[in-house]
């Protein structure tokens, strides 16, 4: 079973550093989990992930259930063996994808009936089924099946959705009993404070190995997202890992850590890499811009990743404009190196009791962006 301990707390805010112990290794927190949707972090190998310092990745229950099938993965030895990754894996419950990708879905008390976005086939995903799929995959950390509330949403619907999510959480826990994997509950409630508080109270009452904040970055404003995260994160049970799902930008991660969040995942570093945006210590760099056509400098002068040590902005722009596959690989290697390095910096700052000073320096350096100055 998973164990979690808090190693240090920053005296100036809610930031904390900890360690998650699993049968497949330890994970130091705060941590960013690269997203391996179908059992692969797009464009790079498991060995490269290990070289970058990734200790845990996220895989997608919905996608792996539809293709190649969780039972097939189980017959082939589980997801770790299937994809060649021997470190911890967290699997989501598939709830977000059912509501965002399914061609048609119908919510019932039993679960959600939906049609596959791949071939239109009909399926029923219940809390018990979602847990069973994650068990077949061999996840180290599983998520309860929940309803990802859209935005905007009425208070009445959000209230009904939260209560359904709580009932599904209890069913998820019952289904996971004795399986050996950790199970996290998800706090829903959209932007409504009383619904978030009620959901948190009920989730804590059921009791989980960790707690997540769901339905953020689904259409609400940045101010609303930060308000929910800053208000709710410190209220999550302090003895368990705190996880904000699907968030986000480097600034979001910094603010989440400051609020007391331990775990993050997001497709942003990999998706943006494929779209020609590199995250750097001085802010985002849009490599497709013509201004870099003859720029001999590295993407980030302060970065020691393979991409920055070997290649120029001009070359990376050339690859991107030509749609060369190497563009996606090099950009992804850089972005994940940046995200994972950012988390390491924050862990060190918390350990030294200097997170607020580090945070001030982070934003000051962001303001020195060449692109930001050029736009002024």
CA distances from 96 to 60, 108, 215, 234, 245 (A): 10, 16, 8, 24, 10
Question: Which residues lie across from 284 on neighbouring strands?
Answer: 279
- H helices of 219-352, in order, are 222-232, 250-259, 268-274, 306-310, 313-321, 325-351
Which sign does the torsion angle of CA 305, 308, 309, 315 carry?
A: positive
Q: What angle do CA 245, 249, 255 make, to 5 degrees?
A: 80
Residue 22's closest CA among 14, 37, 33? 33
Sheet order of strands, 25-29 included: 3-9, 16-22, 25-29
Place of tokens 């920055």: 308
Output phi, psi for 198, to 5 deg: -65, -45
DSSP state of 144: -
Two structure tokens written together for 371:
């692109």
Q: How far is CA 13 from CA 73, 106, 123, 224, in A?
A: 43, 43, 46, 20
Residues acting as catalytic residues: 92, 265
CA-nearest of 166, 262, 148 to 206 is 166
- Record the tokens describing residue 105, joined without a space: 């879905």
Asked, as a colleague might, if the bond just before 319 is cis with ω within 30 of 0, I would say: no
- Give per-residue burial for 20-43: e unless 16+ CB within 10 Å, then b: bebebeebbbbbbbbbbbebbbbb
The H or E element spanning position 4 is strand 3-9
């Amino acid at each position: 079973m998973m164990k979690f301990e808090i190693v240090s707390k920053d005296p100036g805010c809610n930031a904390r550093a900890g360690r998650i112990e699993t049968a497949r290794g330890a994970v130091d927190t705060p941590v960013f989990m690269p997203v391996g949707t179908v059992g692969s972090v797009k464009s790079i190998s498991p060995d490269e992930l290990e070289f970058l310092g990734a200790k845990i990745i996220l895989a997608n229950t919905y996608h792996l259930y539809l293709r190649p099938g969780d039972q097939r993965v189980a017959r082939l030895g589980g997801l770790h063996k299937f994809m060649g990754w021997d470190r911890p894996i967290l699997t989501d419950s598939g709830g977000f994808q059912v509501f965002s990708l399914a061609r048609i879905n119908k919510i019932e008390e039993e679960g959600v009936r939906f049609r596959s976005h791949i071939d239109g086939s009909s399926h029923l995903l219940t809390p018990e089924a979602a847990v069973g799929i994650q068990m077949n995959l061999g996840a180290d950390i599983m998520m309860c099946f929940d309803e990802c509330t859209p935005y905007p949403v009425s208070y009445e619907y959000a209230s009904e959705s939260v209560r359904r999510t709580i009932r599904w959480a209890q069913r998820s826990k019952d289904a996971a009993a004795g399986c050996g994997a950790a199970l996290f509950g998800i706090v829903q409630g959209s932007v409504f404070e009383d619904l978030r508080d009620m959901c948190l109270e009920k989730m804590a009452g059921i009791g989980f190995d960790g707690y997540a904040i769901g339905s953020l970055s689904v259409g609400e404003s940045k101010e609303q997202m930060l308000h929910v995260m800053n208000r709710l994160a410190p209220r999550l049970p302090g003895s368990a890992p705190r996880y904000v799902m699907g968030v986000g930008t480097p600034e979001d991660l910094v603010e989440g850590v400051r609020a007391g969040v331990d775990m993050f995942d997001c497709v942003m570093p990999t998706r943006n890499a494929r779209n020609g945006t590199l995250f750097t210590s001085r802010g985002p760099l849009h490599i497709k811009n013509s201004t870099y056509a003859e720029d001999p400098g590295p993407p980030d002068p302060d970065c020691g990743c393979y991409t920055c040590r070997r290649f120029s902005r001009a070359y990376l722009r050339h690859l991107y404009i030509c749609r060369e596959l190497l563009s996606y690989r090099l950009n992804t290697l850089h972005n994940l190196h940046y995200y994972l390095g950012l988390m390491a910096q924050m862990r060190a700052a918390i350990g030294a009791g200097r997170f607020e000073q580090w945070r001030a320096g982070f934003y000051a350096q962001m303001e020195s962006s060449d692109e930001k100055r050029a736009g002024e």
